[in-house]
Amino acid sequence: MRLILLGPPGAGKGTQAVKITKKYNVPHISTGDIFRKNIKEGTQLGKKAKEYMNKGLLVPDELVVAIVEDRLNEEDCKSGFLLDGFPRTVNQAKALDKVLENMNISLDQVINIKVDKNVLVGRAVGRRICKDCGLAYHVEFNKSKIDGKCDKCGGELYQRDDDKEETVSKRIEVYLNETSPLISYYSEKGILADIDGQKDINEVFEDVVLALGSKR
Ligand code: AP5
Ligand code: ZN
């Protein structure tokens, strides 16, 4: 199954991606996670990406597309993949179309997670991430059982640099201007499924599974 998860910052893409990859056994490709890993490792790519990410801006298309193209050509993507946070501009979507065409494959579904703007800020600002395994928690809606530590691996939880309120607002504005046109882009291709992202995490996942139906 070849999928894209679309939705504004804090919509729950990463949270649903963990569940989807587990159930459907496809690799989770998050461009945000790739950049954060590079920032942590201090690579050239990480240094460039950080300048944009900390301001809530998009990393330039040419940096992102090359990374995704390389990743999609890896062996574990042969039987499918889940793209989370890519594409994010119409330009990236067109570049992805070309990459897939060259690989002789096409997308099965784009899942569009819809959440009101006023809910998004609270979701992102209250998010805490495990330093070791990257799992996302929320101080109110998705608490870890051990205070300040990850339930799965015991790693310390931290707040992402771009989850401060001003940066989140900027990211939402960037989403509305640059990413939301992808909703009509994929709707016109007939592969978009809208999902209400304001239900609880497990209910959202049930709706995702329904939308994916018999796709494998
Ligand atoms: P990225 O890492 O992709 O971040 P994002 O798209 O802003 O999305 P988030 O990770 O903030 O949110 P999410 O939808 O995954 O929500 P989550 O599941 O964590 O990108 C970061 C930056 O990298 C960008 O700003 C840009 O600079 C750069 N970048 C990345 N890709 C790029 C690209 N393709 N091109 C250019 N630049 C790029 O959930 C949020 C919180 O809510 C969590 O605390 C969670 O526990 C909670 N939650 C989730 N679901 C629910 C629910 N149903 N009810 C209650 N709480 C919930
Ligand atoms: Zn962890």
Helix axes 13-24, 201-212, angle to 10 degrees: 50
Q: Where does the pLDDT of residue 175 fall: very low under 50, low under 70, confident under 90, or very high at 90 and above?
A: very high
Report the pLDDT value the prediction gives residue 216, as an integer from 0 to 100. Answer: 66
Q: Check whether 25 has a pLDDT greater than 80.
A: yes
pLDDT digits (tens, 9 = 90+) for 47-86: 999 999 999 999 999 999 999 999 999 999 999 999 999 9
Give one DSSP letter per residue of 120-148, joined into a string. Answer: HHHHHHTEEEETTT--EEETTTB--SSTT
pLDDT at 22: 95
**Of these residues, 2, 50, 88, 123, which one is catalytic?**
88
Residue type, 75: E
Over residues 16-25, the mean pLDDT reads 96
Q: Please work out whether the CB of residue 12 comes within 6 Å of at least one atom of ligand 1.
A: yes
Among all ligands shown, which has an atom nearest to the Cα of 152? 2
Residue 214, pLDDT > 80, answer no
Distance of CA 63 to the CA centre of its chain: 17
pLDDT tens, residue by residue, 108-163: 999 999 999 999 999 999 999 999 999 999 999 999 998 899 999 999 999 999 99
Q: Which among 205, 32, 10, 41 has a CA at the least distance from the CA of 115?
A: 10
Q: Which ligand is nearest to the CA of 51?
A: 1
Q: Are 115 and 11 in contact (CB under 8 A)?
A: yes
Q: Are 48 and 38 in contact (CB under 8 A)?
A: no
Report pLDDT for 147.
85
Task: Please give the pLDDT value at position 115.
Answer: 97
- Cα–Cα dist 121/163, whole Å: 9
Among 1, 26, 32, which Cα is nearest to 14's? 32
Catalytic residue among 13, 50, 123, 128: 13
Question: Which residue segments constitute the domains of the chain, with CATH numbers given?
Answer: 2-115+165-212 (3.40.50.300)
Tell how far the Cα of 12 is from the centroid of ligand 1, in angstroms: 7
Looking at the chain, the whole-number percentage of residues with pLDDT higher than 70 is 99
Binding-site members are 10-15, 31, 36, 57-59, 85-88, 92, 127, 130, 133, 150, 153, 160, 171, 199
Any ligand 1 atom below 6 A from CB of 35: yes
